[in-house]
Structure 1
Amino acid sequence: MREDPAPEEARVQRLIRIGEPPRNRAEAWRKLVWILPWLVFLSSPLNDLVSGHHTAAATAAGWAGLLFFVGTYLAVVFRNMGRPFAGRIVVVLVAGLTALAIILPLTLGAPWLGLFVYVSVVCGVTLPLRIAYWAIPLNTVALILVGIRAGEETAWSLFLLVLLLGFSMTGVKQLVRTTVELRKARATVAQLAANEERLRLARDLHDLLGHSLSLITLKSELAGRMLPDHPDKAAQQVADIEQVSRQALVDVREAVTGYRRPRLSAELAGAQVALTAAGVTADVPDEPDLAHVPEESESALAWALREAVTNVVRHSGAGRCTVEVLKRQTLDGQVLELSVEDNGSGGSGKGPGNGLTGLTERLEKAGGTLEASRTKHGFRLVARVPAGTSPAVGSGA
C-alpha cells in the first residue's frame, strides 16, 4: 500500500507560492513578512525626521513624501508577487518613486539617499529586462549626482549596493518566471500523459472487445434462428458464445493487470516523496537500469519496494533509509537486486507480517527471492528477481 501523500501535500500548501497571488490572508501576511526586512534602509530618513533639524513644514512634507514612497513601493513589490499591475501603471509608479528619491535628498539632505535602493529593487523586479538593464545603471548615476549635489560621500558607499541589488533582482525575477513556467510545463505534461493513457486504453479495449462482441452478436443471432428447427446446432452456437466470452474476459483481465502493474521508476519516485514527508532522510536512486528486465520481474520488485517503504514509514521509527537497485551476475543468471536498509527498529519483532509473507509469495511467483533481517543498526530487506536471459557463468565446453 502506498503511503498517504497528504503530509507532503500539506507541507507544500504551507509554502509561499512565488509568482502567484496569495490564496488567503495568512499567506498575504507571510509574503509581506518577506518584504518588510528590506525597509531597514529607511532608518536614516526616520532618524532625520525625528531629529528636529528641519522646520515644521519641511518635516510634515518629509513625512508625507516618505509615507507615499513606502506605500507605493510596498504596493508595487507586493502586487508583483502575484498578479502584477499593468505596464503603464508600473511605469508611472516607478517614475513617481524615482522623482521622490531625487527630490527628498535634494531638499532634506543625504540621509535620504537610501531611497535609491528601493528604486533599484523596483526596477529589477517590475520592469522588462531590456528596460531594467538600462534603468538600474541610470538610477545609480542619479544616486551619484544627487549625492554630489548634496555634498555628501554617502552616495559612493551606496553605489555598489544600488547597482548589484538591482541586477540581482532581475535574476530573482527570471528565477520566479522559470519556476512558474516549469510548474505549468509539468502540469501540461501530466495532462498529456493522462490523455495518452486514456487513448491507449480506448484502443486496447476496442481491439480486445470489438471482434469478440461482434462474434458474440453474430452467433447469438444464428442461435436464435436455429433454435426452433435445429436445437442441436443452436446449442453449438451457444457453446461457441460461452467460449468467446470466456476468452474476452481473460483478455480484459490481462489488459487491466497490465495497467495496474506498478513500475519501478514510479515507485522509486513515490518512495522518495513518502520517506521525505515522514521525516526520513532518504537516499533513493533516480533511474535504474531496466534494460531487458521482464515486466513480471520489474512489477514484483516494484511491489517489494512499496511494501518495504510502507514498513519503514509506519513501523520502523527510522531516521534514515537507503535504497539501492543493482544488477548482479549469479550462477543462475543475471538478477536485479533491490536493497532497502534503514536505521529503525524493524517493527514489532513478532515475526514476518502478512505484507512480507504475501511479498515473498509474489516474488517466488516471478522466480525471485526475499531476504529480510535485522542489522547492527536497523533493518534490511533484499529482493532479487531474474533480470533476463544471460550466458551462464563458468560453463565449460
Structure 2
Amino acid sequence: MAMRKEAWPPWQTGTADDSLAMGRVPENHRQAIVKLLWVGMWMLYLASPVTDLLDGHHSPLALIAGWTGLVGFVTAYLTLVFLRTNQEHQPPWVPVTLAALCVLAVVLSLTLGDSWLVLFVYAAVAMGAAVPPVHSRWAIPLVTALLFGCGALIDAKDDLVLSLGIPCFLGGFAMLGIRQLILTMRELREARQTIAGLAATEERLRLARDLHDLLGHSLSLITLKSELAGRMLPGRPEDAAAQVADIERVSRQALVDVREAVSGYRRPTLAVELAGARAVLLAAGIEADLDPAQWAGHDRLGADEEGALAWALREAVTNVVRHSGAGRCAIAVTVTVADDADALALTVSDDGRGAEPGRGPGNGLTGLEERLLLAGGRFEASGSGADGGFVVRASVPLVEAVTPVGGGT
C-alpha cells in the first residue's frame, strides 16, 4: 500500500490528516516511529516489574512465567494503542484483549509481588482509551478496585497501593476524556467537510442561476435584433447597421456581465433592469406598459433584496419575449404589506398564450424562486392573468423605517 508523503515532523503541519492523531493507525513509518517514542516514554513505569525480575530472587520457572506474562501484557497494550483506541465501534478482539490485560495484571501481581501492581494503571488507561464511555465509566473504577484488592491480598504497603490507585483511577478517566475529545474533533472535521461541500454546491447553483439569467436575457435580445437586421436587408442597410451595432453592444455587455457573475461581484439594480426591460420588449415588438420613473430608488430596500427583485424582472421579461407570444406586457412595482411588514412587490403580466397545460416551471423560474427565498422574499407564478396570459409576482421585505430621535420637535 502506498504511503502518503507527510511533512516532518508531523506536528508542524496544519492539516488534520498530516498530524499524528492519537488512537489512529499510523499511516507511514515516520508516524509509527513518533508514536512508538511517545508510547515508549510511558513504558518507563514498567521499570518496577523489570527490576523485580532482574533481582534474582525468583525461581527459574517464575522468571519464565514473569517474562512471558510481561511481554504478553506489553504486546496486548501496544496493540490497543496502535490499532484501536479512539474508534466508535470496536471489533470483538478488543474486549478480549482488555480482559487479558486485567487477568495478567491480577495473576502477575498475586504470584510475583507488589512490584507488579503498576500493570493495573496501564489496564485502566487502556479501558479509558478503547472502551465506549457508557462502559468505561464503570470499567475504570472496577480496575482500580482490583488494584486495591490485589494489594490487600499480597499485603502491599498502603502508601504504594495509594500511589498507584490514584493514577490508575485518574489516568483512566483522563484517557476517556481524551478519547471523547478525539471523537469530537473527528465529528468537527466531518462537519467542516460537509459545510465545505454544501458551500461549493451553493456556489455552483448561484453561478448556474446567474449565467442562465444573464445569457438567456442577452441571447434573446441578440436573436431578436439579428432577425430585425435580416428583415431590413437589403432594402434598409442603415437601419440594419444600427441593429448590428446594438448586437455588438449587447454582446460586449453580456461578456462583462458573465465575468462579473463568475467573480461574484454582480448585483443588478432595479432601475437599470426596468430600463432594459423596456428596450427588450420594444425590440421584440411587444408593447411595454411600464414607467421607469416609478422606481427612483428606495431607502428601505437592501442591496441583496434589490438584486433578487432585479433578477426576477429580468427572468420574467425574458420569458415574455421568448415564450409568451404576447402583444403587451405590464410591469408594476408597488409597496405592499405581507405578514404585517412592508414589502416591495414586482408584478409582470402579459396577454400571451399563458402556461402550457401539464408543464411545470422551468429552470429559470425555479432558480428565481430559490433566489427570492434566500433574500427572504416570496415568489408566485400563475398561468392565467387578467388578460389571459402569464403573471409573475415577486416580493422582498423592506427594512423598518427609523424614526429620528426627537423628531417633530
Q: TM-score, with normalisation over the residues of structure 2?
A: 0.58
- The alignment status of 1:199 with 2:181, answered yes or no, reads no
Q: Which residue of 2 aligns with 1:76?
A: 80
User: Which segment drifts farther, 17-26 or 106-115?
Assistant: 17-26
The whole-number CA distance in structure 2 between the counterparts of 1:95 and 1:158 is 20
Q: Which position in structure 2 is the counterpart of 1:25?
A: 29
Report the CA distance between 1:232 and its aligned residue.
4.2
Find the counterpart in structure 1 of residue 229 from structure 2: 223
Secondary structure (helix, strand or coil) at the match of 1:251 reads: helix
| CA deviation map 1:259-298 (0-9, x unaligned) | 49xxxxxxxxxxxxxxxxxxxxxxxxxxxxxxxxx99xxx
| Structure 2 counterparts to residues 381-396 of structure 1, below 5 A | none
Question: Does the CA-based 8 Å contact 2:106-2:150 persist in structure 1?
Answer: yes
Per the TM alignment, residue 17 of structure 1 is displaced from its structure 2 partner at its CA by 3.0
Distance 1:189 1:58, change over 3 A: same
Shift in Å, 1:10: 6.9
- Percent identity at matched positions? 53
**Match 1:188 to one of 194, 208, 212:** 194
In structure 2, the partner of 1:213 is 219
How many residues matched?
261
Q: Give the counterpart letter for 1:239 in structure 2.
A: A
Q: Distance in 2 between matches of 1:238 and 1:210?
A: 19
Corresponding position of 1:160: 166
1:217: how far off?
A: 2.3
Distance 1:81 1:231, change over 3 A: farther
Matches of 1:148 and 1:104, distance apart in 2 = 15
Cα–Cα, structure 1 residues 88 and 98, in superposed 2: closer, same or farther, change >3 Å? same
* Residue pairs, 1:5-44, within 5 angstroms: 11-12=13-14, 15-44=19-48
Compare 186-195 and 80-89 and name the one that shifted more.
Answer: 80-89
Which of the two has greater helix per residue? 1
Deviation sequence 1:279-327 (CA, Å, 0-9, x none): xxxxxxxxxxxxxxx99xxxxxxxxxxxxxxxxxxxxxxxxxxxxxxxx
**C-alpha contact (below 8 Å) 1:19/1:81 kept by paired residues:** yes
Q: How does 1:310-329 map to 2 (within 5 A)?
A: none
Q: Which amino acid aligns with 2:143?
A: N
SS in 1 for 2:58: coil
Residues 211-290 of structure 1 mapped to structure 2, 5 A cutoff: 211-259=217-265
Separation in structure 1 between the aligned mates of residue 136 and residue 174 of structure 2, nearest angstrom: 11
2:51 alignment counterpart: 47
**Partner residue, 2:313:** none
CA-atom RMSD in angstroms:
3.2
Distance 2:86 2:35 in 1: 10
By how many angstroms is 1:123 displaced? 0.3
CA contact (8 A) 2:24 2:82 kept: no
Where do 5+ consecutive residues of structure 2 fail to align? 1-6, 267-302, 305-409
Residues in 1 aligned to 2:196 and 2:112: alpha-carbon distance in whole angstroms: 58
Deviation, 1:192, is 1.4
Q: Distance in 2 between matches of 1:132 and 1:144?
A: 18
Q: Which residue identity is paired with 2:203?
A: E
Check the 8 A contact 1:223/1:233 in 2, yes or no: yes
Give the whole-Å Cα distance in 1 for the aligned partners of 2:40 and 2:11. Answer: 28
Kindly indicate whether structure 1 or structure 2 has the higher relative contact order, using CA contacts under 8 Å at least 6 residues apart. Answer: 1
Query: What secondary structure is seen at the aligned counterpart in 2 of 1:162?
Result: helix
- Alignment correspondent of 1:172: 178
Q: Distance in 2 between matches of 1:38 and 1:83?
A: 22
Q: TM-score w.r.t. structure 1 length?
A: 0.59
Equivalent position of 2:136 in the other structure: 132
Q: Is the 8 A contact 1:124 1:167 kept in 2?
A: yes
The one-letter amino acid of 2:176's match is T
CA distance in 1, matches of 2:47, 2:70: 11
- 1:91 matched to 2:95? The reply is yes
Q: Please state how far the C-alpha of 1:18 moved relative to its aligned partner.
A: 3.7
3-state DSSP of counterpart to 2:13? helix
1:243: Cα distance to partner? 2.4
CA distance in 1, matches of 2:227, 2:23: 64
Distance 1:259 1:75, change over 3 A: farther
Matched with 1:142 is 146
Q: CA deviation at 1:37?
A: 1.3
Q: CA deviation at 1:79?
A: 1.2
One-letter code of the match for 2:197?
Q
